[in-house]
Amino acid sequence: MSSQWVDFAAIKESVAIEQVLQHYRVRLKRVRKDYLRGLCPLPTHGSAQSRESFGVDTGRNVWACHSASCCQARRGQVGGNILDLVACMDACSIREAALRLRAWGDVARETGVPDQLVSKGKKAGRSQEQLPRLFFTLRLQWHPYLEKRGIQRQTASWFGAGYYGGSGFLRDRMVFPIHDERGELVAYAGRAMDGREPRYLFPPGFRKSQVVFNLHRAAKSAAGQGGVAIVVEGFFDCLKIHQAGYGNVVALLGTSVSERQSKLLDTYFRELVVMLDGDEAGRRASRALAARWPEAHIAWLPAGWQPDQLSSKEIERTLRSVNGAPGA
């Protein structure tokens, strides 16, 4: 490990302090636009009297604890950056903290490895089901890129999607909030708009196989559609199908279904309409899903097409051609 070169500046620029707080399950409350405050999570904090002495400036990506005893235990250091925070939390050196932050970033970039398709009926472990809730929100804005992708302002607002210009690894990306089945915010994902790789980034340690995107909204809509859900691959597919008038749409965030996702779909929906991409990977995945779910129907797309490339009328026509598909 000692032979690895570390770019400290790049790490401090690429990781938002909110993500570090999430990693350590630190819960703070927002008292101003760019300022969080709460109980100090540092292992050096031993004062029971100090209340809400820990503050975080999300705009500057720094933190501070104003407890005298905590500062004294850290040799007078009041606060610092994300490297200092990880070093304090894990009782390690700054270099080791940087390597750990970089490793978390590497995990976040592993978004192209599909989860193994598993059979229905298997129960996910309790540890997989409990996703930590986020206790902060990012300020997202409308961006012309959304219009370029055929997304209307009302649709973007409904999903809470938008451009993020703040600090951290999601900076200058199109960002999508991700909720669990209860509607709790559990993560943000960012999509590059300029062709850079990777196209999608997820938070360190977050497993997209543990959620079904838009499930909390689609389950309510599906109740009026006979329990039918439309299953697509990605974020933009989901937004476009919803925009066409189908609120009962969910996204797998890939072409495969994990054990956890399978359980969620079984729990909340009676019937599935599979509408994956028209490429070879999407067609293989569609057949596999139909084999797993006897009650599933496939909405085949033209070769090379994706749901988000279709107009609302084309989406409606495609879905109405499927036996058992819901109406708008």
Q: What is the pLDDT of residue 106?
A: 44
* Structural domain total, the chain: 3
CATH number of 75's domain: 3.90.580.10
Distance, in Å, from the CA atom of 25 to the CA atom of 88, rounded to the nearest integer, reads: 15
pTM greater than the 0.75 cutoff: no
**Whole-number pLDDT of residue 141:** 94
On whether both 220 and 197 belong to a single domain, the answer is: no
- In a domain, residue 117? The reply is no
In this predicted structure, what is the pLDDT of residue 193?
Answer: 95
> What's the pLDDT at 169?
79
User: What is the DSSP pairing of strand 271-274 with strand 296-298?
Assistant: parallel
Tokens found for residue 239? 């937004």
What's the token pair of residue 272? Answer: 């599935």
Same domain, residue pair 23 and 97: yes
Residue 8 Cα distances to 85, 96, 196, 197, 229, angstroms: 14, 11, 22, 21, 46
Domain membership flag for residue 84: yes
Report yes or no on 326 lying in a domain: no
Same domain membership, residue 140 and residue 69: no
What's the pLDDT score for residue 170? Answer: 85
Q: Which two tokens stand for residue 225?
A: 């559609």
CA 99 – CA 8 distance, rounded (Å):
9
Q: Which of 209, 242, 268 is the last residue of a domain?
A: 209
110-154: pLDDT as tens digits: 323 223 222 233 333 333 456 777 766 788 999 999 999 999 999
Domain boundary at 209, 241, 260, which?
209
- Domain identity same for 178 and 256: no
Q: Which neighbouring-strand residues pair with 185?
A: 179
Identify whether residues 20 and 81 lie together within a single domain. Answer: yes
Q: Which domain holds residue 82?
A: 8-108
Task: Kindly state whether residues 180 and 227 are assigned to the same domain.
Answer: no
Question: Tell me, what's the pLDDT at 152?
Answer: 97
Q: Are residues 102 and 36 in the same domain?
A: yes
List the chain residues with pLDDT less than 70: 1-5, 104-130, 135-136, 167, 323-328
In a domain, 121, yes or no: no
Task: Give pLDDT, residue 2.
Answer: 43
Q: In this predicted structure, what is the pLDDT of residue 167?
A: 66
Residue 122: per-residue pLDDT: 33
- 202 and 231 in one domain? no
* Judgement on whether residues 240 and 311 belong to the same structural domain of the protein: yes
Residue 1 falls inside a structural domain: no
CATH number at residue 300: 3.40.1360.10
Using a 10 angstrom Cβ sphere, with 0-12 exposed, 13-18 middle and 19 or more buried, the burial of residue 32 is: exposed
CATH number of 144's domain: 3.90.980.10
113 within domain boundaries: no
One domain, residues 227 and 265: yes
| Beta-bridge partner residues of 173 | 164
